[in-house]
Structure 1
Amino acid sequence: MSESRAFDPAGVAFGIGLPLLSAATVLVTARLWRPRLPDALAIHWNAGGSADSFTATGSAAWTFVLIILLVGGGSSAVAALAQAMLMMRRTMLIVGSAVTGLTLALWFGLVAANLDRADPSDARLSTTSIVVGILVGGAVGVVGAALLRDHRERPSAADRPDARLPRGPVDLPIVARVGLGTGSTAVLVGVAALVTVGLCRMAGSWWLMAVFMPVSALVIGLLRFRVVVDESGLRVFNMGMCALGYGVDELEGARVTEVAPFRDFGGWGLRAKGRGNYGVVTETGPAVVFTAANGQRLTVTTGRAAEMAGALNALADRRHG
């Protein structure tokens, strides 16, 4: 298990280090290529592809630096906070890295369009840089997200669960898939694809499809969960990674309750209701509530709630026995 710490090394490297490096790259390239750039860079193009807005190289460079640091770095820096919810840190890192990648690639595309041009009005921006930036930035964010760890405190429970809590057969593993189903996923993707195609036709360019694909994959991934109860405890997987996990040695007790997502947690999906009270709430009905020795609670809505609670309490009994 991970040791308790305030900052996650991988989060610091990917969430803070990479945005700073990207911002420095913009300033360095602006200085190196300044002799080959016009006094004013073309920074905006109209629907016909002609440049219609210009600004000084230094001003353009610092604008890109601020976007990288404030938007990209501001989002991804959350990944460095080791005590924050792991899934939130992963999500913010992927989003922030995609923004940083897009902004950095757009800067290089802008410079390439203006390089060695006496008249910047002749510059033409290739949308390839936008596509490459989003895909590469998002991929780097996924790699960094996979390296993040939950460094919260994990004290062991002193006693076995209350005798009034349910016990059941320990027939493991118990696996339940919760969240967005296949049919709902198809409808969501279909509607989003139609909207994106319409926007592409209006813009006269298909680069928006490159934004649609990674964004759709991220949204769908955030709405689908796999819940596993085994000898190690209760774990919730999301996007192929463990988003939340509690060991049997931490269990003070597991119980079954009835949950309505919007009534009890104010929303649907992975939720936080106050400090240390987390929920994977995707349907109205039974839910297993795992109470840990550090005071945190995890509520998971599933039709197998009673089975999970009984197995977890029985496993904790064995440990104390």
Structure 2
Amino acid sequence: MSNSRTFDPAGVLFGIGVPALAVAVGLTLTRLWSPRLPDTVATHWAGSGPDGFSTPSSLAATMVIVILLVGCGASAIAALAGAMLMTRRAMLIVGLTVVGLVLTLWIALLAAQLDLASAVDVALPMTWIGLGMVAGAAVGIIGASTLRDHRERSAATLPPDPRLPRGPLDLPITVRLGLGPATAAVLLGTGAAITGLLCARAGSWWPLAAFLPVSLLMVGLLRFRVTLDETGLWVHNMGMTAVGYGVEELVGANVEEVNPSRDFGGWGLRLKGRGNYGVVTTTGPAVVFTAANGQRLTVTTPRAEEMAGALNALADRRLADR
């Protein structure tokens, strides 16, 4: 079984379609509201008042460029079916967070200056900065949950090498890797404290709204749940499957000693060359799943021997039952 899809339809919809829709909404509102806006609108603030101005059309052009180059430039990666699924999800969330921020700020700037003769006394709508980021991040998370792994898949035709380990099928086996709850709590608590000070200094809650999606994304990307069940080996991240292989794809599972920095160039979910994935969070034993299409999934865990034995036994049973 194979899949040569180049683009993920959900990635195209959310990664390209949503930014394009945001641009259309912003341009439409600018056109509709232009008769009610001053000749020049405030676009930049310093101290207690605005110190930068431009025409509504110039503001629109700037916002379009930021949405397309920064927001869509990041989120469009989600459309590439061959890219690492977790990377596509993370970039979609980041990109749409930027899109949400810029669009709501664009709308807020225009709405705050409707029916004014002059923009010299307009206050910067800070609340919208936070609301825009939260809304954009929420749409990004929804879109990320719809992305799928469209990698090529092939079924194995022979059982694993008899020299590879076998073990009891005491399934499922679940291991949690990456940041532990205590470490995550310390990081989030420290960040929240710093953000609280920024909120007090700014006299607004918007830094907290910016902190929440960014911090949760960063912590989420560093926590993994790996599950071995009757169907295969699956890596979950942020509540979604980041990468996984069905038992029907298994050529063989073995145990190797792995050093994340030396063998994968870093820590976490890594890609070393084409189709060589690693969930590497500690130095030590790792179960290595080799698939029929030549791809590999390496997972560092103290239960590597147990997981490798169960995988090979599952593959033996599947082929014997055919």
CA distance, structure 1, for counterparts of residue 44 and residue 77 of structure 2: 32
> Which residue matches 1:61?
60
2:233–2:245 CA contact under 8 A, matched in 1: yes
> Which residue matches 2:169?
170
Q: How does 1:1-321 map to 2 (within 5 A)?
A: 3-48=3-48, 50-321=49-320
SS at structure 1 position matched to 2:145? helix
SS at structure 2 position matched to 1:119? coil
CA distance, structure 2, for counterparts of residue 206 and residue 290 of structure 1: 47
Deviates more, 1:292-301 or 1:186-195: 186-195
Q: CA deviation at 1:203?
A: 3.4
CA distance, structure 2, for counterparts of residue 3 and residue 263 of structure 1: 32
Unaligned segments of structure 1, at least 5 residues = none
CA RMSD of aligned residues (A): 1.4
1:117–1:123 CA contact under 8 A, matched in 2: no
1:155/1:28 CA distance change after superposition, 3 Å: same
CA distance, structure 1, for counterparts of residue 41 and residue 266 of structure 2: 46
Question: Once superposed, which parts of structure 1, at least 4 consecutive aligned residues long, lie more than 6 Å away?
Answer: none
Q: Deviations over 1:56-80 (max 9, x none)?
A: 1111101100111111101111111
Q: CA deviation at 1:224?
A: 0.8
2:96–2:140 CA contact under 8 A, matched in 1: yes
1:2–1:150 CA contact under 8 A, matched in 2: no
2:127–2:204 CA contact under 8 A, matched in 1: no
SS at structure 2 position matched to 1:158? coil
Q: Deviations over 1:74-98 (max 9, x none)?
A: 1111111112111111111111111
CA distance, structure 2, for counterparts of residue 175 and residue 38 of structure 1: 61
SS at structure 1 position matched to 2:65? helix
SS at structure 1 position matched to 2:169? coil
Q: Deviations over 1:87-142 (max 9, x none)?
A: 11111111111111111001011111211111111111222211211111111111
Q: CA deviation at 1:196?
A: 2.0
Counterpart code for 1:211:
A
Counterpart code for 1:125:
L
Q: CA deviation at 1:3?
A: 4.5
2:260–2:266 CA contact under 8 A, matched in 1: yes
Q: CA deviation at 1:45?
A: 1.5
SS at structure 2 position matched to 1:122? coil
Q: Deviations over 1:16-61 (max 9, x none)?
A: 111111112221211111111111110111232x111111111110
1:73–1:100 CA contact under 8 A, matched in 2: yes
CA distance, structure 2, for counterparts of residue 183 and residue 18 of structure 1: 37
Q: Give the TM-score normalised by structure 2.
A: 0.96
CA distance, structure 2, for counterparts of residue 194 and residue 273 of structure 1: 37
Counterpart code for 2:239:
G
CA distance, structure 1, for counterparts of residue 193 and residue 273 of structure 2: 38
Aligned residue pairs total 320
